[in-house]
Amino acid sequence: MMWHMIATTARKYQSFSARCILVIFGLIYCVVSPSRAMATDTPAEWAKSHIQELVQFYQGLHRAPELSFQEKRTAEKMAAELRAIGAIVTTDVGGHGVVGVLKNGPGVSLLMRADMDALPVSEQTQLPYASQVKVQDEQGAEVGVMHACGHDIHMTSLVGVARYLATHKDQWSGTAIFVFQPAEERGAGARAMLTDPWFARLGTPDYALALHVDSSLATGKVGFRAGFTLANVDSVDVTLKGRGGHGAYPHMTVDPIVQAAYLIVDLQSIVSREIRPTNPAVITVGSIHGGSKHNVIGDECHLQITVRSYSDEVRKHLLEAIRRKANAVAQSCRAPAPVIQVSEGTPALENDVQLVERVTPVFRHVLGPENVVPSEPSMGGEDFSEFGRAGIPIFMFRLGAVDPERLARYKQLGVDPPSLHSALFYPDPVETLQTGVTAMTAAALDLLQPSK
């Protein structure tokens, strides 16, 4: 492309010497900057021709997962990739976070994010590159570790985008910011990076993009949704207090397990009777621990509750109602006040409507209209939402991760495909990565269009 432009320009000059000088300059330019001058393949063509190296990179990440807050080796690998493409790299941002900035003239700034952490899940996929990693968790117990949520696909896709943009600088202008984020599974990594002093010096990017694998969507497809797409997520711990004693003399005790039974039932009325039916909300008691023996009434009972919502108003109402009902149960049983703790909260993810409307046609163009489908809203959570709360227009799209034939086989058997966080979940990497790199790169090129 660049050589054609040089030759066309040279023909306009009458002087032979002027033509020679221009041609020599062009040859030097092409030798010194081959990537800028010669790289003319499209994102889809590039992804297809580089898929084997991308798959190998993905498999290496899948074999070596690290838990939240422990992503040291993964971060080092991401930093090395960013340095290799010529980005300005900053490490240890909000923990093990890595940021690479690739400047290419004037224009907008685009942040693209991938999460790095894995889950305490022992892999059961039987893949040849399955994780065999075992570590001690925060409680000292040995746990298996697995990329059961597709973060290895996310990282590999963003590495592919970074490599493409670095070798095709004639196709875009502006600033590309590559963010590799820790601790997404704990809902803490994005907030930690955004509150890091380094991020404040970066300024507010014009846009932010991310992708997330979807275990129920076929490879080759992407899903989109404007507005709320993922939920507020809060974890609530309630410790109900009592007065222990012999199970044969309950009148001499204050039974915390009875309190727990009342509370579990009473919590169900919050969503059904206090929240408008058109407002999504979930309160689930996922764990209850109390007592030690058949004939012993213990001193306390511990409940672990997950709370999901979309709007800030509903979120506030749910948390206040849980506190109100827990205290009311304690008072009705003549028990001490319960201990209530709210932790690991992430805000709802709200995709920017204008950004979705701009990027979705790009997906249709590069993937085909039949492969770009609306996504259903989910009560799952994702702390990419924090970037939106920081004032950046965001768009997270869904990436199909399971081969259509495999999905058809699950349907034939009458079973659902393994979900994210399952020990049996695995993406089909070739098709997934080709689509992820193609879609994200095409979106980046559209948002980073060179100035006219």
Please provide the DSSP assignment of 54-96 as one string: HHHHHHHHHHS--BTT--HHHHHHHHHHHHHTT-EEEEEETTT
Instruction: Inform me whether the pLDDT recorded for 1 exceeds 60.
Output: no
Stretch among 294-308, 419-433, 438-452 having the lowest mean pLDDT: 438-452
Cα gap 362→369, rounded to integer Å: 10
pLDDT tens string 256-300: 999 999 999 999 999 999 999 999 999 999 999 999 999 999 999
Residues written for the chain: 452
pLDDT tens string 59-86: 999 999 999 999 999 999 999 999 999 9
pLDDT number for residue 4: 41
Catalytic status, residue 115: yes
Cα gap 242→415, rounded to integer Å: 44
Confidence of residue 360 (pLDDT cuts 50, 70, 90): very high
Q: Name the active-site residue from 81, 115, 117, 352.
A: 115
- pLDDT, mean of residues 159-188: 97
pLDDT number for residue 345: 84
Instruction: Inform me whether the pLDDT recorded for 203 exceeds 50.
Output: yes
From residue 293, how far is each of 290, 298, 420 by CA, in Å?
10, 9, 36
Residue 32: is it exposed, middle or buried by C-beta count within 10 angstroms (0-12/13-18/19+)? exposed
Confidence of residue 200 (pLDDT cuts 50, 70, 90): confident
Beta partners for residue 236, in sequence order: 305, 342
pLDDT number for residue 39: 66
- pLDDT, mean of residues 191-217: 95
Catalytic status, residue 386: no
Q: Name the active-site residue from 66, 117, 152, 185.
A: 185
Confidence of residue 17 (pLDDT cuts 50, 70, 90): low
What share of the chain in percent tops pLDDT 70? 91
From residue 163, how far is each of 47, 82, 206, 342, 419 by CA, in Å?
10, 8, 21, 41, 30
| CA-based nearest residue to 329, from 267, 282, 275 | 267
Give CA angle at 303 (299, 306), nearest 5°: 165
Instruction: Inform me whether the pLDDT recorded for 3 exceeds 70.
Output: no
pLDDT number for residue 303: 98
Instruction: Inform me whether the pLDDT recorded for 28 exceeds 60.
Output: no
